[in-house]
C-alpha cells in the first residue's frame, strides 16, 4: 500500500529484521520439507546467535527447542524482536493481533495466497491493521532476508552471502537467490539482503533509508518490478545518495513484461520504462540495464570511491582488451583521453616500464611480455600522478605472464595508495588462474572482472556517482557533504 515517504518507526525497526535478538517462528514444524522446519534449520546451520522460539500449537519442542502454542503464550519477560510467520493466510490476522499485543518490533510473512492470487482485499486489510497499530510487516509472499554480519539467514535461502559492502534489496526471490549464490562463488560481498515479496506494508524506500544508516552497507542495490510509492522511493534515495550510492534495476518494462510482473509479485501495470529513467534521475539513482551490470556496478560502488574526473588510465598487456574497453567507454558516453592530454610527462614516465614496441597511448599497452614489476611501476606512475583520477589494470595471460604476481602488485597498489581515494579496477581475462585471482582481488576489496566491458561499466558507474554527488552539492537542497572513503 502506498506511502508518501519512509516511515520513521519502520526504518528504525528494520535493524530487528536483520539482527534480531529474539525471533519467534510461527508455524514451526517438526517435519523436514515444511517451511517452518527449514527456517529453523537454516538459522541453526548458519550459526545464528540470537534466541529462536518455535510456535506450534501441537508440539512441546521443535528442533530441540521449547515451543509455545501461540505468540501470546511466550512468557512476557521475553522481548520478541521479530516474528516470522509461515501459516496459511486465513490464520495470519490472529497472529498479527498477538504481535501487536506483545509489542513485537517487526513481523515477516512468508505465506503466499494474497494479492499475487487476486486476494488484494485480504492483503490490504492486514496491512491497514498493521499500520493502525504501527507494527511493521515485511511480505507477504516473502522469500527471506538475512545478513552475514549477524549470521542471520531467515527464509528459504540455501546460501548466506559473504560479508561485504552491498545491501541487496530485491522484489524478486529468484534473482535474489541467484545473487546470493553468486556471492559465494564470485566473492560478491553483501551487508544484508531481503526478498520483499508483495511489500504490502514495508516498502523499498524504507529498506533504502535503513541501508543509508547501516554502517556495513556501502552501496544500496535495488531490484524493482514495480514502485507502488514512487515519491517515497525518491525521498529515501535522495537522503542516501549524498553518502552512499544507490543502484537500481527496473524490469517489466516490455509489453509482455508488464503482465508477467503482475502475475509474479502483484505489481500494478505502471507507467512505461522511460518514466523510470526520469524517476531514477530525480532520485540520484544509477540505473543498470542487465543483471550482470547490476551486480558489477554494485560491487564497484560498494568497494571504491567515486571517480572524480574523466582522467582515467588503463594499463594492459593485451592490446585487444584495451580496444574492447575503449570502444565500450565511448559507447557509454565517456571516451578515453590520450595520456598526453591527461598529464604532460606521464607517457614518458610509464615508458620506463614497457618495451620499445609497447604503446603509451591510453589504454597503455605495456605488451604481452610485461611482468609484475613493470605492471607495478606503470600503475604507480599512473595513480600518483595528480592529474589521474583512477586506474584500470587489465591482464591476459600469455605464456610468460605471472597472474598471481601481478595480482599481488595490484593489491599492494591499493594498500599503498588507497589514501589517494582514486578508484582501482581490475580485469583478468583467461583461464583458471585468472578466475582464482579475480577472487583474491575481490577479497582484497578491489572490484575485479573477467571482461573488459565489465570493468568499463564499473568505472562508468563510479563517474556517474561522482556527478550525482556534485549535482546534489550544488543543488538547492544542499545535502551534507559526501563522506565515503575507499
d(CA 476, CA 481): 13
For helices 452-474 and 291-303, give the axis angle rounded to 10 degrees: 60
Phi-psi region of 445 (alpha: psi -120 to 50; beta: other; left: phi over 0): left
Q: How far is the CB of 233 from a copy of itself (least distance, A)?
A: 18
Contact flag: residue 375 with a copy of itself (CB under 8 A)? no
Does 335 participate in binding a copy of itself (rule CB under 8 A)? yes
User: Is 399 near a copy of itself (CB under 8 A)?
Assistant: yes
Give the residue, chosen from 257, 340, 418, 479, that forms a contact with a copy of itself under the rule CB under 8 A: 257
CB-based burial label for 46 (10 Å; 0-12, 13-18, 19+): middle
Q: Is the peptide bond between 140 and the residue preceding it cis, with omega within 30 degrees of 0? A: yes
Least CB distance to a copy of itself at residue 181 (A): 3
323 counts as binding a copy of itself under rule CB under 8 A? yes
How many amino acids of this chain bind a copy of itself (CB under 8 A)?
87
Q: Does 390 bind a copy of itself (CB under 8 A)?
A: no
48 vs 56: CA distance, rounded Å? 21
Contact with a copy of itself (CB under 8 A) among 50, 120, 271, 319: 319
* CB within 8 Å of 231: residues ≥ 6 apart: 4, 5
User: Coil, helix or strand for 157?
Assistant: coil
Placement of cell 529468484 in the chain: 174
**414, 422 in Cβ contact below 8 A?**
no
Q: Any idea what the Cα angle at residue 138 is, between residues 135 and 258, rounded to 5°?
A: 135
Asked, as a colleague might, if the bond just before 363 is cis with ω within 30 of 0, I would say yes
> 37 near 84, Cβ under 8 Å?
no
- Chain positions 425 to 444 lying near a copy of itself, rule: CB under 8 A, are 429-435
Closer residue to a copy of itself (CB): 192 or 223: 223
Among 152, 159, 192, 280, binds a copy of itself (CB under 8 A): 159
Q: Closer to a copy of itself by CB, 292 or 473: give it.
A: 292
Give CA separation, 175 vs 195, 216, 291, 358, in Å: 9, 22, 9, 43
Binding region for a copy of itself (CB under 8 A) out of 50-58, 113-121, 209-217, 409-417: 113-121
Q: Please state the closest distance from residue 200 (CB atom) to a copy of itself, in A.
A: 17
Q: Which of residues 64-103 bind a copy of itself (CB under 8 A)?
A: none
Binder among 7, 15, 218, 264 for a copy of itself (CB under 8 A): 264
Residue 359 gets which letter from DSSP?
B
User: Per CB under 8 A, which region of 45-53, 83-91, 322-330, 467-475 contacts a copy of itself?
Assistant: 322-330
Which stretch, 169-177, 201-209, 233-241, 458-466, contacts a copy of itself (CB under 8 A)?
169-177
> How near is the Cβ of 414 to a copy of itself at its closest, in Å?
24
- Which one of residues 97, 231, 281, 327 is an interface residue with a copy of itself (CB under 8 A)? 327
In the complex with a copy of itself, the residue whose CB is nearer, 257 or 479, is 257
Tell me how far, at minimum, the Cβ of 483 lies from a copy of itself, in Å. 33
Give the one residue of 452, 459, 460, 466 binding a copy of itself; rule: CB under 8 A: 452
Among residues 70, 112, 213, 347, which is the contact residue for a copy of itself, using CB under 8 A? 112
Piece in contact with a copy of itself (CB under 8 A), picked from 359-367, 371-379, 412-420, 461-469: 359-367
Of the ranges 61-69, 200-208, 287-295, 382-390, which one interacts with a copy of itself (CB under 8 A)?
Answer: 287-295
Evaluate whether 183 touches 159 at the Cβ level (below 8 Å).
yes
Residues 172-231 touching a copy of itself, rule: CB under 8 A, are 172-178, 180-182, 184-185, 223, 225
Residue 149: which of 48, 220, 25 has the closest Cα? 48
Q: Which is nearer to a copy of itself, 436 or 478 (CB)?
A: 436
Residue 292 found at the interface with a copy of itself (CB under 8 A): yes
Strands (E), 289-360: 312-316
Among the listed residues 68, 210, 312, 329, the single contact to a copy of itself using CB under 8 A? 329
Segment (H or E) for 83: strand 82-85
Is residue 279 close enough to count as binding a copy of itself by CB under 8 A?
A: no
Among 317, 343, 461, 486, binds a copy of itself (CB under 8 A): 317
Of 123 and 175, which CB lies nearer to a copy of itself in the complex structure?
175
167, 179 Cβ separation under 8 angstroms:
no
171-175, Cβ contacts within 8 angstroms, sequence gap of 24 or more: 171/195, 171/196, 171/197, 171/199, 171/204, 171/223, 171/224, 171/225, 171/226, 171/265, 171/267, 172/223, 172/225, 172/264, 172/265, 173/142, 173/143, 173/144, 173/197, 175/223, 175/291
- Which helix (H) or strand (E) covers residue 22, if one does? strand 22-26
Supply the minimum distance, in Å, between the C-beta of residue 133 and a copy of itself: 29
Bridge partners (DSSP) of residue 193 are 146, 168
Quote the strand ranges of 361-446, DSSP E: 364-365, 390-395, 424-428
Considering only residues 201, 206, 389, 453, which one is a binding residue for a copy of itself as defined by CB under 8 A? 453
Using CB under 8 A as the binding rule, the residues of this chain from 18 to 57 that contact a copy of itself are: 38, 42
DSSP letter (8 states) at residue 363: S
Nearest-approach distance from CB 394 to a copy of itself, in angstroms: 9
From candidates 123, 265, 298, 374, binder to a copy of itself by CB under 8 A: 265
Amino acid at each position: 500500500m502506498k506511502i508518501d515517504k519512509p516511515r520513521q518507526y519502520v526504518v528504525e525497526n528494520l535493524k530487528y529484521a536483520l539482527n534480531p535478538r529474539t525471533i519467534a517462528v510461527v508455524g514451526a514444524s517438526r517435519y523436514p520439507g515444511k517451511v517452518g522446519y527449514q527456517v529453523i534449520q537454516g538459522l541453526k546451520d548458519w550459526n545464528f546467535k540470537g534466541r529462536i522460539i518455535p510456535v506450534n500449537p501441537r508440539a512441546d519442542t521443535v528442533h530441540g527447542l521449547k515451543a509455545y502454542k501461540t505468540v501470546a503464550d511466550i512468557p512476557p519477560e521475553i522481548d520478541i524482536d521479530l516474528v516470522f510467520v509461515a501459516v496459511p493466510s486465513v490464520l495470519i490476522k490472529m497472529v498479527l493481533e498477538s504481535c501487536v499485543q506483545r509489542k513485537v518490533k517487526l513481523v515477516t510473512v512468508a505465506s503466499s495466497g494474497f494479492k499475487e492470487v487476486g486476494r488484494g482485499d485480504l492483503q490490504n486489510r492486514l496491512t491497514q491493521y498493521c499500520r493502525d497499530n504501527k507494527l511493521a510487516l515485511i511480505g507477504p509472499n516473502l522469500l527471506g532476508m538475512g545478513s552475514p554480519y549477524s549470521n542471520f539467514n531467515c527464509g528459504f535461502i540455501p546460501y548466506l552471502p559473504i560479508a561485504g559492502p552491498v545491501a541487496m534489496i530485491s522484489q524478486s526471490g529468484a534473482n535474489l537467490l541467484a545473487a546470493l549464490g553468486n556471492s559465494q562463488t564470485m566473492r560478491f560481498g553483501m551487508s544484508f539482503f531481503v526478498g520483499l515479496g508483495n511489500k504490502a506494508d514495508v516498502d523499498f524506500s524504507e529498506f533504502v533509508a535503513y541501508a543509508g544508516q547501516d554502517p556495513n552497507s556501502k552501496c544500496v542495490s535495488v531490484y524493482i518490478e514495480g514502485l507502488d510509492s514512487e515519491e517515497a522511493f525518491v525521498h529515501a534515495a535522495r537522503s542516501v545518495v549524498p553518502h552512499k550510492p544507490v543502484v537500481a534495476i527496473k524490469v517489466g518494462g516490455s509489453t509482455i513484461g508488464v503482465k508477467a510482473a503482475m502475475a509474479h509479485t502483484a505489481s500494478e501495470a505502471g507507467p512505461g520504462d522511460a518514466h523510470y529513467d526520469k524517476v531514477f534521475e530525480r532520485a540520484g539513482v544509477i540505473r543498470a540495464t542487465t543483471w550482470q551490470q547490476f551486480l558489477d556496478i554494485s560491487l564497484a560502488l560498494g568497494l571504491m570511491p567515486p571517480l572524480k574526473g574523466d582522467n582515467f588510465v588503463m594499463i594492459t598487456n593485451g592490446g585487444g582488451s584495451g580496444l574492447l574497453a575503449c570502444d565500450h567507454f565511448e559507447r557509454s558516453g565517456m571516451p578515453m583521453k590520450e595520456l598526453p592530454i591527461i598529464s604532460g610527462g606521464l607517457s614518458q614516465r610509464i615508458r620506463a616500464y614497457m618495451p620499445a614496441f609497447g604503446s603509451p597511448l591510453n589504454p597503455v599497452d605495456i605488451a604481452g611480455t610485461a611482468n609484475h614489476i613493470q605492471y607495478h611501476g606503470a600503475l604507480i606512475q599512473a595513480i600518483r600522478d595528480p592529474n589521474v583520477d583512477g586506474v584500470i589494470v587489465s591482464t591476459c595471460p600469455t605464456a610468460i605472464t605471472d597472474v598471481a604476481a601481478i595480482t599481488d602488485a595490484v593489491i599492494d597498489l591499493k594498500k599503498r595508495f588507497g589514501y589517494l581515494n582514486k578508484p582501482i579496477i581490475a580485469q583478468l581475462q583467461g583461464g583458471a588462474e585468472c578466475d582464482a585471482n579475480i577472487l583474491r582481488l575481490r577479497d582484497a576489496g578491489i572490484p575485479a572482472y573477467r571482461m573488459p566491458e565489465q570493468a568499463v561499466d564499473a568505472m562508468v558507474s563510479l563517474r556517474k556517482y561522482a556527478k550525482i554527488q556534485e549535482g546534489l552539492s550544488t543543488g538547492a537542497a544542499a545535502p551534507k557533504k559526501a563522506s565515503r572513503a575507499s
